[in-house]
Amino acid sequence: MYLRTKFLLKYYCKFVYYAGCGNYWYEDINHETIPFKLYRFISFSFYTVMIFLENAAAVFGSFPSVEKNSAVMFSATQNIVLAKFYLFFYHKVSIRKLNYEMGAVGENLEEDNVMKKQYWKVKYGILFYVVTAYLSLGTYGLESARKSIVEGAPFYTVVTYWPAYEDSTMTADIFRVFFYITWLYMMLPMMSVDCMPITHLICISYKFVTLRRHFERIREEFDGDLVTMRKEEAEDKLWIGCLEGIKMHQKLMYLVDEIKRIFGLIMSLQVCESSATGVFLLLRLALSPHMDLTNAFMTVTFVGTMFYLLALNLWNAGEVTYQASLLSPAVFYCGWHMCAVGRPRRDIRRLVLIACAQAQKPLIFKAFGIQDLSYSTFVSVSFT
C-alpha cells in the first residue's frame, strides 16, 4: 500500500517541506508555522543577496581568470535557479491540486509490481542526484581550502563582488565561508524544485503503464469469462472495463496538459541550465590541459551532476511519450472483435475506435515549445 502513487507523492512532498519550500501536499499535514515561514524568508533573503553579489562580480568584479569565469558561470546558473524558485512558489496551489489528482486517478487499478518499479525509480534517481550534487559542492570546498592553505589565495567557492578579492581580513574570510554554507543548505530546496517535475513525469509514465496493463487484463479476463459465463454478460463486463479505461485515459491527457502548464517553464529552464553549464565546464576542461587533479575532479563532478539532471528531465519526458505510444495497441486488442454486433447501448466498437484515436495522438514535452524533451534530444545534446 505504501508504494502507491498517492503515498509516493505524499512522502516526496514531506521532503520538499523539510527542504524549506513549504507544504505542497493537498492536505495540511506539514504545517507552515510562523517560525517556519520566518526561516524560509531569512534563508531565501540570504540566497537572493548572494546571487545579487554574484551578478555584480560577473559584471563589475576584477578577479583572476579562474574566479572570473566561475563568477560568470555561477551568476547565470543561480539566476536560472532563482527563477525556478519563484515559478515553483507561484504554482503552489496548482501543484497541490495536481498531487491530489495524480494520486487519485487509476488508484484502484495500480498493481504492486508496477508501483514497486515506480518507487525505486523515483527513490534512486533522486538519491543519486543528491549524492552527485553534494559531491560536486564538496570538491569545490576542498579545492578552495587547498588553494587557501597552500597558495595563500582567498577562500572562494561562490565568487561574489564583496568581499573584494584582495581583502584578506578575518571578516572577509568569514563572509566567504558563510556564502559557501548558504550555497550548501540552499541546495536542498534547489534539488526539491528540480525533482518535483521529474517525480511527476515518472508517476505519469507509470500511470500509462497501469492503464495499458488494465486493457491487457480485461482482455485476459474476457477470454476466461467467455468460458465461465454467458457471452452477453462477458461482453457487458468488457464494455464496463473499456469505459473505465477510456475515462482514465482522458484524465491522464488532462494531467499531462497540467504538467506542461505548471512545470513546462521550469523543465525548460532546467534544460538550459544543465546543457549550458555542462558545455561551459567541458570547454574549460578542454582549454586547461595542465589542470591539477583536484580542480579536474571538481569540474568533472559538476559536469556529471549537470548532465545527470539533464538526463533525468529528458529521459523521463521521453518515457512518458514512449509509454503513451504503447496504449493504442493494448486498446485495439482488448477483445472487441469477439463481441456481438447490434447492441447500440453497448457498442464496444465505437468505444474502442474513440480510444484508439485518442491514444494515437503523440504526447511530446517541449522546451520553450520548440525542442522536444526526449531520449534523442539527450543523445544529440550529449554528443554534439
Cell of 257: 496538459
- Measured between its terminal Cα atoms, the distance across the chain in Å is 44
118-157 tens-digit pLDDT: 999 999 999 999 999 998 888 888 888 888 888 888 887 8
Dist CA 69 CA 165 (whole Å): 14
The three-state secondary structure class of 366 is strand
pLDDT of residue 114: 95
Cα within 13 Å of Cα(160), Cβ side: 24
pLDDT of residue 209: 97
pLDDT of residue 144: 86
pLDDT of residue 221: 94
Q: What's the gap between Cα 32 and its chain centre? A: 24
The three-state secondary structure class of 367 is strand
Instruction: Give residue limits of the domains in the chain.
Output: 5-382
**Whole-prediction pTM:** 0.94
**Residue pair 349/247 in contact by the 8 Å Cβ criterion:** no
**Residue pair 216/111 in contact by the 8 Å Cβ criterion:** no
Dist CA 313 CA 292 (whole Å): 32
pLDDT of residue 384: 59
Buried b (16+ CB within 10 A) or exposed e, 274-311: bbebbebbeebeeeeeeeeeebebbbebbbbbbbbbbb
Residue identified by cell 563532478 is 301
Dist CA 215 CA 106 (whole Å): 13
Dist CA 104 CA 108 (whole Å): 9
Please report, rounded to a whole number, the percentage of residues in the chain having pLDDT higher than 90. Answer: 60
What torsion do the CA atoms of 219, 225, 230, 232 make, to the nearest 10 degrees? -20
The three-state secondary structure class of 69 is helix
- Which residues of the chain have a pLDDT value below 50? none
Cell of 110: 495500480
User: One-letter amino acid identity for 257?
Assistant: D
